[in-house]
Amino acid sequence: MEFHLSATNILVILGAIALIILLVSVLKKVIRTVLVIIAILGLAYYVFLFSNMFKDPNQHANFSIDNIKQKYCSNIVTHSDSVKCYMIVDPIYNDIKSKYTEEELLDLERNPIEYLKVLNQAINRNKSDILKNLSKNKEQQIWDNFINDLKNRYPNQQIAQ
- pLDDT of the residue at 19: 94
- Nearest Cα residue to 139 out of 92, 60, 55, 82: 82
Helix 140-153 with 112-136: angle, nearest 10 deg: 170
Chain-wide mean pLDDT for the chain?
A: 82
pTM of the model: 0.57
Q: Provide the sign of the torsion angle of the four alpha carbons 27, 33, 36, 40, taken in this order.
A: negative
- pLDDT of the residue at 38: 92
- pLDDT of the residue at 160: 64
HSE-up (13 A, CA, CB side) for residue 36: 6
Higher-confidence residue of 155 and 152: namely: 152
Nearby residues of 114 by Cβ (< 8 Å), 6 or more positions away: 108
Residue 90, judged by CB atoms within 10 A of its CB (0-12, 13-18, 19+), counts as middle
Q: Collapsing DSSP states into helix, strand and coil, what is residue 148?
A: helix
Spatial distance between the Cα atoms of 118 and 120, rounded to a whole number of angstroms: 5
Find the range with the poorest average confidence among 36-45, 118-127, 132-141, 151-160: 151-160
Judge contact between 105 and 65, C-beta under 8 A. yes
- pLDDT of the residue at 161: 60
pLDDT in tens, 98-143: 998 888 888 888 887 788 888 888 988 998 888 888 888 777 788 8
Average pLDDT over residues 80-90: 87
- Residue 45 parent element (H or E): helix 7-50
